[in-house]
Amino acid sequence: MTVAGVDRAAGPAERIAGLHLLDTDVHHDLPSYDELRPFLAAEWHPWIAGGGPGFARRHYSNVKAHIFMDDVLREADGLGAGDPDWVVEQLIRKYRIDVGVLTGTGLGVALGHNPRFCAALASAYNDWTLEKWVRPHACFKGSIVVTPQDPSAAAREIHRLGDDPGIVQVLVPSGAMLPYGQRHYWPIYAAAVEHDLPIAVHVGGEGTSIAGPPTAVGYPSSYLEFHTDNSQSMMAHCASLVTDGAFEEFPSLRFGFVEGGVCWAPYVMWRLDRCYPALKAEVPYLKHLPSEYILDHCYFSTQPIEEPADHRHLLQMFEMLRAERTVVFASDYPHWDFDNPLTAFSFFPAELRRRIFVDNVLAFYGPRLLGPST
């Protein structure tokens, strides 16, 4: 199929000029683990017989009541986000999105206790995404979900799919055992840069399965509190990537922070920069100011975009973090706190909006985002 804005016959420059919106965070739904069966190694079939694993659950009361946008819940057959045609209609066409990057609901594999099972499930999930969503629909691109708890398996999965034209990133959750800058993870980054794929950290998983509590001081009481606190793991990963030297080791590594908020980034940059001159003897392998690594390697997705009462404050914050090169659009469809691109950014200068909606997204993913998926 052809989707508004993506005309495969057009040359790159013309095509780019014709783009309206690129969405870095579209959650396609897995209606049932049974759909993965054709893609899953046979030895694991008995293990999903009971309906699949229940990992990555949070226990904040009544969270289902607000997890989805009202119009995604279909009376007839459950969740519309499990149907590619529905998502094309309800998201892609409605909001004039050219390409939506699929982030799914499979991040739990990154935090499951059994890394072998999780690696098998990740492969099945990735193949299912490609076959059911990406190959038939030019408007979708896929992510490789992996098992950071077993970096060697994650690297193998990246090498297996890393050159697939339907794949544009490696996807991991913010919940983790260790900060993402640590050497434990470097085989994943070596594989990713070999295939010119960025890493996206999508918020989620804190306090579940093999991840520690969601904050340094334990468990939040409410989902409102949790939802605010869960940016902290993003900050920890960001500081770790810089200070552990991951960007020195992998100069072409790009890291996206998805759904973790944006306006904490100036604080983290300034705090690191403030301390770095006095402490650089401790990190002699760093060659630049910490903020330079962040500005050169990191991207921050918009949703859920902060909404200060005074619009000027958000624009000032965006200037502080050089949004014209670091911020990318995300809708988070079909979740309750979906950002409507037609209204959420209406007060932004057109040029900045264009950078966030199109140019920065292309810089993050590279040209593969606009190529064919078959």
203 to 222, contacts with a second copy by CB under 8 A?
206-207, 211-222
Amino acid at 136: P
Residues 98-117 that bind a second copy (CB under 8 A): none
Select the residue interacting with a second copy from 77, 89, 282, 351 (CB under 8 A): 282
Minimum gap (Å) between residue 61 Cβ and a second copy = 7
What tokens appear for 238 in the block? 């960001």
Q: How far is the CB of 119 from a second copy (least distance, A)?
A: 21
Provide the mask over 216-255, with x wherever binding to a second copy is found by CB under 8 A and - wherever it is not: xxxxxxxxxx-xxxxxxx-xxx-xx--xx-----------
In the complex with a second copy, the residue whose CB is nearer, 129 or 231, is 231
**DSSP helix, strand, coil percent of the chain (3-state; round to 5):** 45, 15, 40
Note whether 73 binds a second copy by CB under 8 A. no
Q: Restricting to residues 175-204, name those near a second copy by CB under 8 A.
A: 175-182
Least distance from a second copy to the Cβ atom of residue 261, Å: 6
CB of 49 or CB of 279, closer to a second copy: 279
By the rule CB under 8 A, 272 interacts with a second copy: yes
Contact in structure between 371 and 164 (CB atoms under 8 Å): no
Beta bridge partners, 78, equal 74
Q: Is 271 near a second copy (CB under 8 A)?
A: yes
Residues 116-175 that bind a second copy (CB under 8 A): 174-175
Build a one-symbol-per-residue string for 320-339: x at contacts with a second copy by CB under 8 A, - elsewhere: x---------------xx--
**CA-based nearest residue to 213, from 228, 196, 199, 233:** 233
Footprint (CB under 8 A) of a second copy, residues 4-63: 60-62
Q: Which residue number, 151 or 166, has a Cβ lying nearer to a second copy?
A: 151
Q: Is 283 in the site for a second copy (CB under 8 A)?
A: yes
Rounded to whole angstroms, the maximal C-alpha distance in the chain is 63
SS3 88: helix
- Which H or E run includes 267? helix 265-279
Q: Is 374 in the site for a second copy (CB under 8 A)?
A: no
Determine the 3-state secondary structure of 139 from DSSP: coil
Residues in Cβ contact with 301 at an 8 Å cutoff, skipping those fewer than 6 apart:
24, 25, 256, 257, 258, 259, 260, 262, 327, 328, 329, 330
- For the bound state, the minimum distance from the C-beta of residue 139 to a second copy, rounded and expressed in Å, comes to 28
CA 255 to chain centre: 9
In this chain, which of 106, 256, 304, 341 binds a second copy, going by CB under 8 A? Answer: 304
Question: Which of these segments, 129-137, 138-146, 248-256, 317-325, binds a second copy (CB under 8 A)?
Answer: 317-325
Smallest separation (angstroms) from a second copy to the CB of 263: 4
What's the chain's length in residues? 374
> CB 58 → a second copy: shortest distance, Å?
13
Q: Which is nearer to a second copy, 34 or 306 (CB)?
A: 306
Name which of 190 and 283 has its Cβ closer to a second copy.
283
Contact with a second copy (CB under 8 A): which of 82, 84, 151, 261?
Answer: 261
Looking up tokens 């279909």 gives 74
When binding is defined by CB under 8 A, the residue of 85, 89, 319, 351 that contacts a second copy is 319
92 is a site residue for a second copy (CB under 8 A): no
Q: Give least dist CB 268 to a second copy, A.
A: 6
E strand spans, the chain: 22-26, 73-74, 78-79, 99-102, 140-145, 167-173, 199-202, 255-258, 298-301, 327-328
| Cα 70 to Cα 368: distance, rounded to the nearest angstrom | 33
Alpha carbons within 13 angstroms on the beta-carbon side of residue 244 total 17
- Provide the 10 A C-beta neighbour count for residue 249: 15
- For CA atoms 31, 341, 143, 128, the dihedral sign is positive
Q: Interacting stretch for a second copy, rule CB under 8 A, among 83-91, 152-160, 308-316, 360-368? A: 308-316
Distance CA 149, CA 152 (A): 9
